[in-house]
Amino acid sequence: MTQPNVLILRAPGTNCDQETGFAFEKAGAKVAYHHINQLIESPSLISDSQILCLPGGFSYGDDIAAGRILASQFQSKLSDVIHDFHSASKLTLGICNGFQILIKTGFLLAETDEGLPATLTWNDSGRFIDRWVHLKADSSVCAFLKDSDSMYLPIAHAEGKFVPRSEAVLSDLQAGHQLALTYASGNGSAQVDNFNGSTADVAGVCDPTGRIFGLMPHPERFIDRTQHPHWTRLELPEEGDGLAIFRNAVEYFA
């Protein structure tokens, strides 16, 4: 396969679906957009896709908690469909709100007798954060981060603080190279760009296979040099750092 099909799933409140689709198309994929109700009514819509993407936004207004309502729909009506999709060696990407959904469904980090291994909760500041951050990537396992070591991407969230259930959970995730993306320092500063207070500076997590990846930063918002906040003052590559995530997903099926 040279051109994988991407299913971008949206719900009321999703607002990054078109930008994310454009990024996938720029990377060489074919994109289809479907509302959650369409997938619930016709689960076979996902069968021809190789990549499932849950984009950013505020699904159902983030009522109750960020991503909670859409996560509940997944668990109650699409659990078998999503597990079958993953079992077929396909890829799943969750960006910001999509990451929150993947965490709260247990599809990214499987639930145990003690409950979910981790959650994403309110930023330490207690308010919405919109910043650009430096990131360090661990490409050991995650298919989306192949050959990546660092990135500079924007964040925009109120509930992006990663909190593991215990130190043991954190240690296991670290040992398995599942803490695939972490906030880092940049521009000669010793200050890590961890503006939400995430434990261990976690910005993105993958499952043990590396084929399910959730991250709080928005790679779709930096795929071209002109999207960089200082693009008129710096010598920059034509492609933004975020495009690598989408290209790696596409090339996974080449």
DSSP 91: E
Strand partners for 154: 132
User: What is the H or E stretch that residue 205 is in?
Assistant: strand 202-206
Helix axes 243-251, 17-26, angle to 10 degrees: 60
* Cβ pair 148, 137 in contact under 8 A: yes
Determine whether 34 is an active site residue. no
With vertex at residue 225, the alpha carbon angle to CA 223 and CA 229, rounded to the nearest 5 degrees, is: 105
Which one of the listed residues 96, 142, 157, 159 is annotated catalytic?
96
Name residue, tokens 């709260």.
104
Determine whether 177 is an active site residue. no
Determine whether 218 is an active site residue. yes
Compute the distance between CA of residue 165 and CA of residue 117 in angstroms, rounded to an integer. 5
Catalytic residues: 96, 218, 220
